[in-house]
Amino acid sequence: MTAAEVSGDLHAANLVRAIKKIDTDIEFVGIGGEKMRQAGVDVRATTVHMGAVGIWEGLKYYPSFLRIEKGIKRMLREEPPDLLVLINSRDFNLRIARLAKKRGIPIIYYIAPPAWAWPDWATKRTARNITKVIAIFPFEAALYRKVGADVTFVGHPLVGMARPNLSKSKAYEKFNLNSSHPVIGLLPGSRAYEIDSLLPIMLRAAAKIKRSLKGVQFLLSVAASVFGEKIARIVRHSGIEVKVINNNIYDLMSVSDLIITASGTATLEATCLATPMIVVYKTSLSTWILGHILVKFPYVSLPNILAGRRIVPELLQFRATPNRLANLTLSLWGDCKKLEQMKIELNKVT
């Protein structure tokens, strides 16, 4: 099993646990993170801190990926698995797929590259290098079938799993919150470069929001412990008072009146919980331009993609500024009807 980012590590771990309920004799080996380890995978290399979208964002990890790829080549040669399962991480996993295919190893892609976002030629290239796609969206399954892939649709693993552990009152108590004051969640993503680029914007926006919204409380989600120190350093430097919450995203979302989140898995989790959101995202200029050329979808966030229209606001690239983010947050907070309508629309999606 190969997973190169935080969400892939989570989905791989859940898949392993489900398989073990059916057959306890299967052995799992791969690359990933702590959640895979806890599920019983023999993790040969830790990769969850290396997740990247775009050429420049991923360059800093290229030497590490080359070393890991060399180890995988050796493993495929000396102890070839009966099956290779790829999770997320398009660029890295397709390289591994080509290596495995040369050795005749069957390959399943679970949470494959989003066919709805890429041109048909890119989807065809993915299909050529794998044995089977396990699709998590029905329209994704149809697009992969269109290019000749063998596809099974299973639904998204987060649907049914995204639920708080605590009641709202207990969560208020646990996070030491005043239930009569606004709560805004900050979710800067699960990749290092997302945290570096988005968290300072969120915190500067939070400072402006705090000046206008009396008693507002901010909760900051840490998606993986590997990023804890980085986040703590950025928060200290900002001087903004926030409550940092580790590995408790669903309770954080359940008590938040609104979240400001990076595009990605968290937007679908918030959709499942009908938590109103503002989606922000920035990449390098080269990745942004390339995305405009290659990616065919008008939205980046999953709730908008699933709805086929804009139901949550997106502040992307040059529009993702602290002032715009603060003003949009205050505007939404001042319009209860808009927030309620967003909840209704999010419920319709799921």
Task: Choose the weakest-confidence range: 12-21, 49-58, 79-88, 199-208.
Answer: 49-58
β-pairing verdict for 107-110 and 2-3: unpaired
Averaged pLDDT for residues 147-157: 93
Rounded Cα–Cα distance for residues 140 and 249 (Å): 27
User: What pLDDT score was predicted for residue 135?
Assistant: 94
Q: Yes or no: say if 20 and 36 are a contact pair by the CB < 8 Å rule.
A: no
DSSP category for residue 192:
H
Q: How confident is the model at residue 56 (pLDDT cuts 50, 70, 90)?
A: very low
b vs e for 328-341, b when ≥16 Cβ sit within 10 Å of the residue's Cβ? bbbebbeeeeeeee
Q: Is the pLDDT of residue 294 over 70?
A: no
CATH number at residue 34: 3.40.50
Q: How far apart are CA 162 and CA 253, in angstroms?
A: 10
Q: Is residue 145 part of a domain?
A: no
- Same domain flag for 173 and 261: yes
Per-residue pLDDT at 139: 87
Same domain, residue pair 54 and 190: no
- 194 and 270 fall within a common domain: yes
pLDDT band per the 50, 70, 90 thresholds, residue 26: very high
120 part of a folded domain: no
Whether 146 maps to a domain, the answer reads: no
CATH for 179? 3.40.50.2000
Pairwise CA distance, residues 332 & 274, whole Å: 15
Residues 328 and 217 in one domain: yes
Do 210 and 91 share a structural domain?
no
Q: Are residues 199 and 335 in the same domain?
A: yes
My answer on whether 180 and 308 are in the same domain is yes
Top pLDDT among 163 and 350 is at 163
Run of H or E residues at 14: helix 6-22
Whether 289 and 199 share a structural domain? yes
Residue 34's CB is within 10 A of a number of other CB atoms, namely 16
> Does residue 273 fall inside a structural domain?
yes
Over residues 159-187, mean pLDDT: 93
Sorting pLDDT into bands at 50, 70 and 90, what band is 290?
A: low
Check pLDDT > 90 for residue 183: yes
Give the Cα separation of 247 and 210 in Å (integer): 25
Residue 93 CB-density burial (10 A; 0-12 exposed, 13-18 middle, 19+ buried): buried
Q: Are residues 215 and 91 in the same domain?
A: no
94 inside domain: yes
Range of the domain at 47: 2-111
Domain count of the fold of the chain:
2
Does 64 fall in a domain?
Answer: yes
Whether residues 106 and 178 share a domain: the answer is no
For residue 277, pLDDT over 90 is answered with yes
Q: pLDDT-derived band of residue 107, with 50, 70 and 90 as boundaries? A: very high
In a domain? residue 99: yes
Looking at 87, 111, 135, which one is the last position of a domain? 111
212 Cβ neighbours under 8 A, 6+ residues apart: 326, 330
Which range is most confident: 43-47, 113-117, 223-227? 43-47
- The pLDDT score that the predictor gives to residue 52 is 47
Residues 187 and 320 in one domain: yes
Q: Which structure tokens are listed for 166? A: 């605590």
State the average pLDDT over residues 172-186: 96
Mean predicted confidence (pLDDT) in 122-138: 93
Last residue of a domain, one of 95, 111, 127: 111
pLDDT at position 288 over 70: no
In the predicted model, is pLDDT for residue 53 greater than 60?
Answer: no
pLDDT in the model for residue 291 = 67
- Strand ranges across the sheet with 29-32: 42-46, 29-32, 2-3, 84-87, 107-110, 132-135, 151-153
Examine the pLDDT at 54 and tell me if it is beyond 50.
no
Contact 5, 50 (CB under 8 A): yes
Alpha helices (H) along 168-321: 168-174, 192-212, 228-238, 249-255, 265-272, 285-294, 302-307
Last residue of a domain, one of 70, 94, 111: 111
**What percentage of the chain has pLDDT greater than the value 70?**
92
pLDDT band at 292 (very low <50, low <70, confident <90, very high): low
| For residue 59, pLDDT beyond 60 | no
Q: Is the pLDDT of residue 175 over 90?
A: yes
User: Are both 96 and 241 inside the same structural domain?
Assistant: no
Q: Which pair of structure tokens corresponds to residue 167?
A: 């009641």
Q: Which tens digits make up the pLDDT trace of 217-252?
A: 999 998 777 778 889 999 999 989 999 998 899 999
In a domain, 137, yes or no: no
String of DSSP letters for 115-174? TTTS-HHHHHHHHHT-SEEEESSHHHHHHHHHTT--EEE---TTTTT---SS-HHHHHHH
Tell me what the mean pLDDT of segment 107-134 comes to.
Answer: 90
The DSSP bridge partners found for residue 61 are: none
